Amino acid sequence: MAVFHKIVKLVKNGVFDDYSYFMQKSRIIRDINLISIP
């Protein structure tokens, strides 16, 4: 899943310090939609 790898890359780069927050499924969809915008 390209989007997932993109998220992992962002996490590794320190963009998302609170990884546990980002993994909350209730919010991850909204965050993915923001990240997926070209």
The reported pLDDT for the residue numbered 23 is: 65
Name the pTM for this structure. Answer: 0.29
pLDDT, tens only, 1-38: 678 788 777 777 665 556 666 566 656 677 677 776 65
Backbone angles phi, psi at 37, to 5 degrees: -65, 125
The reported pLDDT for the residue numbered 7 is: 73
The reported pLDDT for the residue numbered 12 is: 72
- Tell me the three-class secondary structure of 1-38, residue by residue: CHHHHHHHHHHHCCCCCCHHHHCCHHHHHHHHHHHHCC
